């Protein structure tokens, strides 16, 4: 890496994209790219055509979200091949994401390029993200640590907040009502001029919820409500034809009730009580500011600084005690894209990350930094295209780590591509794993997890409006961190084999079909047991039909059985779900929509807990039960997008 490449720009700030095309300004690049499903941002932290990236990526635009009408991010992610999402009882409950057989903490979550999640637990609180605030979701399947560093073993999920819909002033109002006291309301205002664009959005979602667990004591039989207040703001200003300034912000906060079948422990009396009504107060936010500079026809540089918070306070209505786990994350990135010519491109970057933990529990250490530099070279030939990336991370606790990835692809003909790739990954232990107090099982001598992944992809444009993609992959994870005996240890090795395929097709008469199939075999290489909470087969089918101003659609999901424990003694039954949806564009400004999830009112669960049948005898053997998921769910909504501002030409 030559010093001359970095000298002209002060090192401070960034993350997501550089220029999409040399003939366009960066403002046009960002806003336009996020509206298109043919463009991918997350694969190389640079907006580029989907056909030119070597990674397997699924994209959901705002148009897709409006058509599919998902109730949550989890609902949307379950449509991605190779991705499984488990919950502990409906909206607002603890959500875990498994990408290609890896666990939640082994995948990275970004919001507008900012790394988010809990430093103590390791995962991101996706259950608290409101769909009203989301413009686009990209899911990269497979290791990408050479670009993103730690945690990107299984893949990367990137969420982009709402963006402006062209120039002028564009207001938006949405209200929706459903069973179980569900109410959704959202208000947005976006627009701008040739140089300035903005989007301002606020939403309130709440529901009475369901009783997530079986009744273990009287206070545990209530419904567990959920309330979420959210706000987002994006702003960009074209200072010159080559310089763009911008700001992104997302804030989500609220209350999520839950059941505690294990009873309430009071540290002042050292007793466990049956009477309990627990709830969480949460607050998630992410802010970033960036400078995008199109220096010349060859070099584009982007600088960004960001701050993210994941705050959780657990309380109980029958107790004055509470626990607090707050993560504060500061980041800075400098990203440079150098187009050497039409076929050769180099990506250079520097990353800085600092995590701080404020908790009611005394941790041995409450902060940790990581510094990194990376380089990636891309060649796009007529017959062969290649990609090679190398990253060097220096962690405050775990020292230096190098990771790299490489791939080679072949354009078999104008409609078929074959890609072979290899990628390394790693994950540093969480604060709970290494710094938690005595008695929590923390081990300060843990080593980072390491992975090696091999993949073969086939992409085919089977017809003008038919796209097929399939992947065959193998992942080996060494030094896997598990709880053994009395503490966390590096003892296990996981072996994951998998196959996934997706088909997107537009049939005659405006019939749209999306099919996603996944078969995964994630195993503990030592015992041969299947890794917990992961179904080995999943199938999702979406069908939508356009009938003039009306659209009708359906989703059919099949999930095979899985295990709720590492010993494979607790079985989680498979299940099938059917949902239907419709919308009516009554006028250019007024749209009605309705949906019914779990139409057949199936009883199912995705995760288990150990139920204590007698709260007065806490030493009795436990029996595993499943967290209940929602039965038939109905939601009817209205969206109003008046055009009176533009008619007056303000």
* 617 pLDDT above the threshold of 80: no
**Percentage of the chain lying above the pLDDT 70 cut:** 91
- Ranges assigned E (strand) in 224-277: 224-238, 243-257, 264-266, 271-273
* 4 pLDDT above the threshold of 60: no
* 548 pLDDT above the threshold of 70: yes
Could you report the per-residue pLDDT of 102-133, keeping only the tens digit for each? 999 999 999 999 999 999 988 899 999 999 99
* 5 pLDDT above the threshold of 80: no
- Return d(Cα 156, Cα 117) in angstroms, integer: 13
Token pair, residue 218, equals 């009287």
Report strand pairing: 416-427 vs 449-463: antiparallel
Q: Where are the domains of the chain?
A: 3-647
pLDDT for the residue numbered 302: 95
3-647 is classed in which CATH architecture? Beta Barrel (2.40)
Could you report the per-residue pLDDT of 223-280, keeping only the tens digit for each? 899 999 999 999 999 999 999 999 999 999 999 999 887 777 777 777 777 778 899 9
Nearest to 513 by CA among 502, 521, 522: 502
Could you report the per-residue pLDDT of 9-28, keeping only the tens digit for each? 233 233 333 333 333 444 45
For the segment 306-324, the average pLDDT, to the nearest whole number, is: 93
Nearest to 498 by CA among 478, 470, 477: 470
Token pair, residue 390, equals 């190398």
Average pLDDT value over all residues in the chain: 89
| pLDDT confidence band for 384 (50 / 70 / 90) | very high
For residues 455 and 56, the answer to whether their CB atoms sit within 8 Å is: yes
| pLDDT confidence band for 42 (50 / 70 / 90) | very high
Could you report the per-residue pLDDT of 557-595, keeping only the tens digit for each? 999 999 998 889 999 999 999 999 999 999 999 999 999
| Other CB atoms within 10 A of residue 511 CB | 12
| pLDDT confidence band for 36 (50 / 70 / 90) | confident
Most trustworthy range by pLDDT among 52-56, 72-76, 212-216: 72-76
- Return d(Cα 381, Cα 440) in angstroms, integer: 54
Could you report the per-residue pLDDT of 149-208, keeping only the tens digit for each? 989 999 999 999 999 887 789 999 999 999 999 999 999 999 988 889 999 999 999 999
**Percentage of the chain lying above the pLDDT 90 cut:** 71
Could you report the per-residue pLDDT of 487-501, keeping only the tens digit for each? 888 877 899 999 999
pLDDT for the residue numbered 401: 92
Helix (H, G, I), strand (E, B) or coil at 514: strand
pTM: 0.92
């Amino acid at each position: 890496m030559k010093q001359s490449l970095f000298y002209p720009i002060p090192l401070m700030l960034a993350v997501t994209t550089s220029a999409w095309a040399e003939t366009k300004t960066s403002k046009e690049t960002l806003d336009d790219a996020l509206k298109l499903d043919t463009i991918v941002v997350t694969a190389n932290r640079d907006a580029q055509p989907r056909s030119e990236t070597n990674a397997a990526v699924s994209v959901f635009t705002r148009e897709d979200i409006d058509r599919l009408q998902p109730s949550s991010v989890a609902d949307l992610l379950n449509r991605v091949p190779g991705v499984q999402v488990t919950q502990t009882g409906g909206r607002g409950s603890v959500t875990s994401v498994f990408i290609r057989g890896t666990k939640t903490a082994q995948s990275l979550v970004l919001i507008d390029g900012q790394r988010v999640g809990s430093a103590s637990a390791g995962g991101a609180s996706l259950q608290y993200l409101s769909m009203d605030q989301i413009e686009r979701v990209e899911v990269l399947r497979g290791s990408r640590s050479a670009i993103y560093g730690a945690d990107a073993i299984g893949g990367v999920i990137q969420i982009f907040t709402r963006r402006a819909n062209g120039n002028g002033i564009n207001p938006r109002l949405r209200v929706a009502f459903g069973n179980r006291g569900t109410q959704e309301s959202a208000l947005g205002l976006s627009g701008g001029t040739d140089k300035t664009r903005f989007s301002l959005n606020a939403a309130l979602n709440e529901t009475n919820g369901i009783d997530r667990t079986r009744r273990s004591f009287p206070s545990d039989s209530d419904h567990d409500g959920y309330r979420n207040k959210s706000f987002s703001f994006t702003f960009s200003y074209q200072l010159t034809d080559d310089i763009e300034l911008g700001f992104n912000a997302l804030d989500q906060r609220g209350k999520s009730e839950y059941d505690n079948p294990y009873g309430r422990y009071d540290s002042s009396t050292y007793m466990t009580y049956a009477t309990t009504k627990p709830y969480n107060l949460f607050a998630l936010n992410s802010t970033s500011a960036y400078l995008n500079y199109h220096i010349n026809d060859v070099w584009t540089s982007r600088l960004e600084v960001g701050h993210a918070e994941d705050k959780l306070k657990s309380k109980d209505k029958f107790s004055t005690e509470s626990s607090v786990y707050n993560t504060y994350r500061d980041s800075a990135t400098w990203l440079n894209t150098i187009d050497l010519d039409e076929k050769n491109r180099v990506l250079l970057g520097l990353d800085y990350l600092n995590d701080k933990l404020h908790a009611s529990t005394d941790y041995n250490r409450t902060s940790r930094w990581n510094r990194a530099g990376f380089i990636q070279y891309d060649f796009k030939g007529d017959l062969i295209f290649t990609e090679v990336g190398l990253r060097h991370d220096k962690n405050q606790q775990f020292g230096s780590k190098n990771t790299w990835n490489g791939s080679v692809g072949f354009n078999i003909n104008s409609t078929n591509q074959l890609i072979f790739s290899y990628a390394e990954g790693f994950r540093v232990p969480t604060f709970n794993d290494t710094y938690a107090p005595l008695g929590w099982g923390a081990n300060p001598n843990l080593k980072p997890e390491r992975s090696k992944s091999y993949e073969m992809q086939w992409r085919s444009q089977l017809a003008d409006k038919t796209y097929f993609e399939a992947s065959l992959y193998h992942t080996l994870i060494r030094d896997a961190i598990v709880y053994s005996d009395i503490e966390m240890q590096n003892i296990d090795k996981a072996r994951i084999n998998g196959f996934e395929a997706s088909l997107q097709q537009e049939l005659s008469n405006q019939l749209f079909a999306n099919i996603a199939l996944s078969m995964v075999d994630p195993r503990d290489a030592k015992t041969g047991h299947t890794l917990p909470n992961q179904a080995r087969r999943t199938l999702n089918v979406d069908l939508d039909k356009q009938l003039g101003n009306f659209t009708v659609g359906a989703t059919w999901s099949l999930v095979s059985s899985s295990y709720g424990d590492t010993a494979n003694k607790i079985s989680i039954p498979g299940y099938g779900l059917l949902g239907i949806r419709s919308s009516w564009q009554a006028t250019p400004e007024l749209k009605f929509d309705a949906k019914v999830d779990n139409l057949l009112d199936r009883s199912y669960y995705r995760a288990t807990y150990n139920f204590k049948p007698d709260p007065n005898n806490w030493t009795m053997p436990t029996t595993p039960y499943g967290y209940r998921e929602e039965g038939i769910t109905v939601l009817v909504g209205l969206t109003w997008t008046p055009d009176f501002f533009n008619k007056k030409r303000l």
